[in-house]
Amino acid sequence: MSRRAVLAILAGAGISLLAPTFALAQTNANTAPQTSKANGMTKNAPKTGYASVNGLKMYYEVHGAGRPLLLLHGGFMSIDAMGAILPALAKIRQVIAVELEGHGRAADLDRPLSLGQMAEDVVDLLGQLKIKQADIFGFSMGGGVALRIAIQNPDLVRKLVVVSSGYSNEGAYPSITASWPNMSPEWFVGTPMETEYTRLAPNPKHFSVFVGKMKDMMLSATDLPASDIQSIKAPTLLVLGDADIIRPEHAVEMFRLLGGARPDGGMGGVPDSQLAVLPGTTHFSIITRTDLLMPVVTPFLDAPMPKAK
């Protein structure tokens, strides 16, 4: 199998679980915070720390100021790998970026990985940080976690941005899902995913075990019922690339479940949720395209909340 084919499979695995390699390659260039020194103090440096959540030592960073926004990375990623989208969001929000179980600096526990457990961990962290309500931006696997937070904790989520993610395994193209059973640590040799894990993980030699646990999570993942998507209270912005691994038909169906794509053709007014398809954009590149993302994300987040119905 060619490297390009492997990366395409990795990008789509597990309802869009894995990271775009291009974003990882851009880490060093794009993620260093802008700092300046005055009176011996460093300005604009993020607050960093670890929190004990459900037995997990979760790493997090806080950037910027203003209304809180939770930033959730994709699979096999870290906070660093989110690239330029983090500082872009930190210009308009206080960004709380976390590393989910097994990713980045957060070691995995002696338990299976699951999106549901990751959602519970994040909710626990927000409680410890005394954040009663936040916007959420979830990319790829992080989008799946974000959906579960919004479903299980509706009062915690003000607005929701889900990028390149779906709510069922059918969201991805069949050629992607058919490859999951063959996934192995050898696929990652020499990839930025492996490099990122070796650089940050508490136990770099654990990588093959981690890959196996991610594979198990993908193969055992259950779809979210359509009724769960319909129950989401938070206005939601769905974003995907026109060449994404998420099928556009799936995104439209998800948009319909959220109250969009109505049969009245907009004659009854604009729905609370929105759908954006970014041109010339893949699952690999979408998170790097702040020039396309921010003009869509910023007005959505800044718009007044809809009146209670």
Q: Tell me the per-residue pLDDT of 282-301, one tens digit each, with 9 for 90 and over.
A: 998 999 999 999 999 999 99
pLDDT band at 269 (very low <50, low <70, confident <90, very high): low
Please state the rounded mean pLDDT for residues 53-64. 97
Q: Residue 97 class from Cβ within 10 Å (0-12 exposed, 13-18 middle, 19+ buried)?
A: buried
pLDDT band at 309 (very low <50, low <70, confident <90, very high): low
For position 29, what pLDDT does the model report?
33
| pLDDT score of 5 more than 50 | no
Is residue 65 assigned to a domain? yes
| pLDDT score of 197 more than 60 | yes
Is residue 307 assigned to a domain? no
Half-sphere exposure of 24 (CA within 13 A, CB side): 25
Please state the rounded mean pLDDT for residues 116-132. 98
Is residue 38 assigned to a domain? no
What's the angle, vertex CA 56, arms to CA 211 and CA 217, rounded to 5? 30
Residue bearing the bigger pLDDT, 15 or 221: 221
| pLDDT score of 234 more than 70 | yes
| pLDDT score of 109 more than 90 | yes
Mean pLDDT of the chain: 87
The CATH number covering residue 234 comes to 3.40.50.1820
Is residue 34 assigned to a domain? no
Range of the domain at 91: 3-28+47-302
For position 112, what pLDDT does the model report?
96
% of the chain at pLDDT higher than 70: 83
For position 252, what pLDDT does the model report?
97
Query: pLDDT tens across 154-176, in order?
Result: 999 999 999 999 999 889 999 88
Distance CA 97, CA 69 (A): 8
pLDDT band at 45 (very low <50, low <70, confident <90, very high): confident
Residue 291: CB atoms within 10 Å: 10
Is residue 14 assigned to a domain? yes
% of the chain at pLDDT higher than 90: 76
For position 261, what pLDDT does the model report?
66
For position 210, what pLDDT does the model report?
97
Q: Are 64 and 71 in contact (CB under 8 A)?
A: no
The number of folded domains in the chain is 1
Residue bearing the bigger pLDDT, 263 or 186: 186
For position 221, what pLDDT does the model report?
86
Is residue 131 assigned to a domain? yes
Q: Where are the alpha helices (DSSP H) in the chain?
A: 3-16, 21-25, 27-30, 85-90, 115-128, 141-152, 174-177, 192-200, 207-220, 226-230, 248-257, 290-302
Is residue 36 assigned to a domain? no
| pLDDT score of 16 more than 80 | no
Is residue 308 assigned to a domain? no
For position 100, what pLDDT does the model report?
98
For position 56, what pLDDT does the model report?
96
